[in-house]
């Protein structure tokens, strides 16, 4: 075998015995966490008990039209329909979420190996996803996001891992995400941009059409049967939430690119001074977040007691964008995908923005970029792997310190 790695060949076969032990460790840790009712993100258990278990009971006991009227979840009905069709209890619902999360983890591991990543770094990527509190927590507590993430990962990964008819799996799997998590339409739209760039019209048109049809059907159905929280008109973007989501996604996905390190300090300062006033104006156009906001909300509260406006949070956002400008320009497709997902977060949150919501888009966007460039640009692949590990480390720290204020 050649000493160099190509797009389809790996330098050496990974040690499958060690990978099998890693998989076994994931399974054992997952079931142990399930058995002791581990709650890594703190809010996952409360949401399960106060929302998802209630909605599942409504689905199982109410007629369809009554269910649509009474349900008070912003999620689609597909997850509850699947759980009911399988005849799962609440504990079974939680176990199913864990199985979905484990499957997504193993798919990421296999994708990383297929792209030529060393088995050690592939294991680190899989471990980062598995341990992410905003993936692991919702999965352990039977949230629909576990199924939505599995559909996204499957839809993106299957064409690379298999051949034949399965290469058309994204046309079915990705639009199904919308019936589980309507905001997942942004991730589907982001994948459609990749199809558009490659002129894969036979993939783009059916995928976009089915996803749009599903989204419109859900919206019109909820509008006809006014479920609480779902029947409102499509919300306008919250400018502050958009800017924060944009900064976080750019920080996680593009700030670590090596191309950013080539900028001179004077150029960086110039970019910052150009961006900062515009961010200050946009930031001031919307009210304070009603929930979440991370360090930005805390900075706003401190600054609000001293000044009439907000300068610190816009400065952080402008600094992230100024530092990442080279990467944003060099991969405009990834930048457009981030913009779409940030806009979705700004619309869906109704004035709130939590790290778990950003995390839902971080992993599909990371996977899209890995699949697009991972085999051809090893340096970019390495930076993305490092970004995933750092992202989970920060998420674990923030979730441990004070999840209710994140």
How do residues 361-384 score in pLDDT, each as one tens digit?
999 999 999 999 888 888 889 999
Tell me the average pLDDT across 288-312.
79
User: Which contacts of 401-405 are long-range, i.e. CB under 8 A and separated by 24 or more positions?
Assistant: 403/41, 403/42, 403/43, 404/42, 404/43, 405/297, 405/298
- Residues 239 and 375 occupy one common structural domain: yes
Using 50, 70 and 90 to split pLDDT, how confident is the model at 160? Answer: confident
Both tokens of 279, joined, read 């961010």
Q: Are the beta carbons of 41 and 138 closer than 8 angstroms?
A: yes
User: Which contacts of 67-72 are long-range, i.e. CB under 8 A and separated by 24 or more positions?
Assistant: 68/221, 68/222, 68/225, 68/227, 69/225, 69/226, 69/227, 70/227, 71/227, 71/228, 71/230, 72/227, 72/228, 72/229
Tell me the average pLDDT across 38-43.
80
The residue out of 174, 198, 228 marking a domain boundary is 228
Phi-psi region of 394 (alpha: psi -120 to 50; beta: other; left: phi over 0): alpha
Phi-psi region of 350 (alpha: psi -120 to 50; beta: other; left: phi over 0): left
Please name the residues in contact with 353: beta carbons below 8 A apart, sequence gap of 6 or more.
238, 241, 244, 245, 289, 291, 292, 293, 345, 346
Residue of 168, 210, 169, 163 whose CA lies nearest to 189: 210
Give the pLDDT confidence score for residue 224 in this predicted structure: 44
How far from the centroid of its chain's Cα atoms is residue 371's Cα? 16
Percentage of the chain lying above the pLDDT 90 cut? 50
The residue out of 190, 207, 228 marking a domain boundary is 228
- Residues 12 and 88 occupy one common structural domain: yes
Using 50, 70 and 90 to split pLDDT, how confident is the model at 349? Answer: low
The C-alpha atoms of residue 170 and residue 256 are separated, in whole angstroms, by 29
Give residue 363's domain range.
232-406
The number of distinct structural domains making up the chain is 2
Residue 100 has pLDDT above 60, yes or no: yes
Residue 288 has pLDDT above 80, yes or no: yes
Using 50, 70 and 90 to split pLDDT, how confident is the model at 16? Answer: confident
- Per DSSP, what are the bridge partners of residue 292? 353
Residue 187 has pLDDT above 80, yes or no: yes
Give the pLDDT confidence score for residue 358 in this predicted structure: 95
The mean-pLDDT minimum among 223-227, 340-344, 401-405 falls in: 223-227
- Residues 332 and 315 occupy one common structural domain: yes
- Residues 176 and 32 occupy one common structural domain: yes
Integer-rounded Cα Rg, in Å, for the chain is 21
Residue of 231, 248, 240 whose CA lies nearest to 351: 240
Both tokens of 273, joined, read 């001074």
Residue of 203, 230, 202 whose CA lies nearest to 217: 230
DSSP structural state of residue 48: I
The C-alpha atoms of residue 138 and residue 157 are separated, in whole angstroms, by 22
The residue out of 182, 202, 228 marking a domain boundary is 228
How far from the centroid of its chain's Cα atoms is residue 33's Cα? 22
Half-sphere exposure of 279 (CA within 13 A, CB side): 25
- Residues 26 and 175 occupy one common structural domain: yes
244-258: buried (b, 16+ CB within 10 Å) or exposed (e) per residue?
Answer: bbbbbbbbbbbbbbe
- Residues 194 and 260 occupy one common structural domain: no
The C-alpha atoms of residue 136 and residue 185 are separated, in whole angstroms, by 22
Using 50, 70 and 90 to split pLDDT, how confident is the model at 238? Answer: confident
Using 50, 70 and 90 to split pLDDT, how confident is the model at 162? Answer: confident
Map tokens 């360090």 to a residue.
295
The C-alpha atoms of residue 225 and residue 201 are separated, in whole angstroms, by 35
Cα distances (Å, whole numbers) of residue 31 to 26, 28, 92: 9, 5, 12
For the chain, give the mean pLDDT: 86
Tell me the average pLDDT across 219-247.
66
- Residues 111 and 258 occupy one common structural domain: no
- Residues 154 and 286 occupy one common structural domain: no
- Residues 248 and 210 occupy one common structural domain: no
300-328: buried (b, 16+ CB within 10 Å) or exposed (e) per residue?
Answer: beeeeeeeeebeebbbbbbbbbbbbbbbb
Residues making up the chain, counted from first to last: 406
Map tokens 């806009």 to a residue.
343
- Residues 211 and 331 occupy one common structural domain: no
State if pTM tops 0.95.
no
DSSP structural state of residue 292: E
- Residues 260 and 214 occupy one common structural domain: no
- Residues 298 and 185 occupy one common structural domain: no
Residue 164 has pLDDT above 70, yes or no: no
Please name the residues in contact with 332: beta carbons below 8 A apart, sequence gap of 6 or more.
none
Residue 40 has pLDDT above 90, yes or no: no
Give the pLDDT confidence score for residue 67 in this predicted structure: 77
Using 50, 70 and 90 to split pLDDT, how confident is the model at 153? Answer: very high
């Amino acid at each position: 075998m050649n000493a160099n790695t190509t797009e389809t060949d790996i330098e050496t076969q990974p040690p499958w015995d060690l990978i099998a032990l890693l998989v076994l460790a994931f399974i054992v840790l997952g079931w142990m966490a399930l058995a002791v009712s581990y709650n890594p993100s703190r809010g996952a258990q409360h949401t399960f008990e106060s929302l998802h278990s209630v909605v599942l009971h409504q689905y199982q006991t109410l007629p369809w039209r009554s269910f649509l009227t009474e349900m008070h979840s912003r999620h689609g009905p597909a997850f509850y329909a699947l759980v009911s069709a399988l005849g799962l209890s609440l504990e079974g619902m939680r176990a199913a979420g864990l199985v979905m999360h484990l499957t997504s983890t193993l798919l990421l591991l296999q994708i990383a190996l297929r792209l030529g990543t060393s088995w050690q770094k592939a294991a680190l990527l899989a471990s980062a996803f598995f341990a992410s509190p905003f993936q692991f927590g919702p999965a352990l507590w039977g949230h629909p996001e576990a199924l939505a993430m599995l559909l996204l990962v499957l839809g993106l990964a299957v064409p690379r891992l298999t051949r034949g008819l399965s290469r058309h799996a994204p046309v079915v799997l990705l639009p199904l995400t919308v019936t589980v998590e309507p905001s997942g339409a942004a991730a589907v739209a982001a994948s459609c941009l990749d199809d558009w760039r490659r002129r894969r019209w036979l993939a783009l048109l059916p995928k976009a059409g089915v996803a749009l049809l599903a989204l419109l059907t859900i919206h019109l159905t909820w509008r006809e049967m006014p479920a609480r929280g779902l029947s409102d008109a499509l919300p306008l973007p919250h400018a502050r939430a958009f800017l924060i989501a944009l900064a976080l996604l750019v920080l996680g996905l593009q700030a670590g690119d090596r191309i950013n390190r080539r900028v001179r300090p004077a150029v960086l300062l110039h970019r910052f001074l150009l961006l900062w006033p515009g961010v200050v104006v946009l930031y001031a156009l919307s009210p304070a977040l009603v929930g979440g906001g991370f360090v930005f909300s805390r900075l706003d509260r401190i600054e609000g007691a001293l000044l009439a406006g907000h300068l610190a949070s816009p400065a952080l956002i402008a600094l992230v964008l100024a530092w990442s400008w080279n990467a944003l320009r060099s991969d405009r497709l990834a930048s457009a995908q981030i913009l779409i997902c940030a806009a979705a977060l700004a619309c869906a949150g109704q004035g709130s923005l939590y790290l778990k919501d950003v995390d839902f888009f971080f992993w599909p966007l990371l996977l899209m970029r890995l699949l697009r460039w991972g085999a051809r640009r090893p340096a970019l692949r390495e930076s993305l792997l490092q970004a995933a590990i750092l992202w989970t480390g920060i998420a674990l720290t923030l979730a441990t310190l004070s999840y209710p204020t994140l």
